[in-house]
Structure 1
Amino acid sequence: MPRTALITGGVSGLGRAAAVRLEADGVKVITLDVADGADLVVDVTDPDAVQAAADAAGPIDVLVNSAGVVGPNVPLWEVPIDGWRRTFEVNVNGTFHTCRAFVPGMRERGWGRVVNLASMAGKDGNPNMAAYSASKAAVIGLTKSLGKELATSGVLVNAIAPAVIETPMNAGTAPDTLAHITSLIPMRRAGKAEEVAELIAWLASDKVSFSTGAVYDISGGRATY
């Protein structure tokens, strides 16, 4: 029986690439996004709306948390309070809301895969991106905790930490910041969404069986630990 995946932020960027890749494996994909064109138009920062979407979607086998925002590109002392809060609302609370809504069904059925999109920024910290870096570090911590909680349940939870990837989300990143974080990549180029999607597809499959609570770098060599 074909499995079903729900992908947040599934209309563009990494979410869209993941949807195309999973569909190629025969997975039924449901996209959840605030943008028009999503199967479920839902704001992940709204826990009631996320829960309602989970109730409406039916059984979900794979959850890919790709919805995210870059947040303010300024030194920490210039970060507006609402910008800091918004970054955490989407990147951290949104991931929490979807996991809280969809994981119980996976536990009941004894099989599931959760793939959370973190970032190298959550491990290294990018200058002038304090809110983004801190929020992605929180996603890593959430993944490690939830992975351990579900370790014997048949539900595996892993995170991916990409370096800078060519996606619409990075279109709003300040050019000097983008140039800096790209210069840290030994391959001397940004990654492609399709390259990340390959890793997502593996983590969403039966092929991964002895990994949970882990963080997989896809960084063109940038990763140092």
Structure 2
Amino acid sequence: MTPDAVIFDIGNVLIEWAPERYYDRVYGVDRRKALFAEVDLDGMNTSVDLGAPFRDLVYETAEAHPTWRAEIRDWHDNWIELAKPAIEHSVTLMRRLRSKGVAVHCLTNFGVESYAYAQTQYDFLNEFDVEFVSGRLKVIKPDPRIYEIVEEDLGVAPDAILFTDDREDNVATARARGWQAHHFDGPSGWAARLVAAGLLTEEEAKP
């Protein structure tokens, strides 16, 4: 079936998400490893993705770990350095789909404030037909409920949705619901999947 809607994840699909790379560069690999071992930054980030106030939670976490106060505050204060650069070929694919009248949405684990900020830095984040942002919905992938919300909102049959995500567990949940799903491991593979789905020509899928 040719999809009626295409849904992009954002982190590591449209924008590189690499906190470790930033901390390695600014503080050094050894200090980064010690920080990530001692402080549950992933858990903090998950809470933000579930709708917790971005700055407040990061700063509270920093105060709870004064040895790492500056490093933890960077998660908020220099957040854009953790989420860069854009994956340009993916952005091109998104825009070519939209230029052909294909409905293009996002389904992303992202905080409310951090997503709003990212939209000021990456103009393409303002171009989706519908945005499904976990922080707004208070539920994150791969919880099946967030996929159900997408189906309810769009009114599109599950097998008419084509979704890409860089995480296997998120892709697996989509497939379990009957979605067409692609595990993103680079834009060239995603481009080929869009061609195979009949949404783009090979020429349109080029960078």
Higher strand share: 1
Structure with larger RCO (C-alpha < 8 A, sep 6+): 2
So what's the TM-score if we normalise by structure 2?
0.34
Tell me the TM-score normalised to structure 1 length.
0.32
Which structure is higher in helix share? 2
Please identify the structure whose Cα radius of gyration is greater: 2
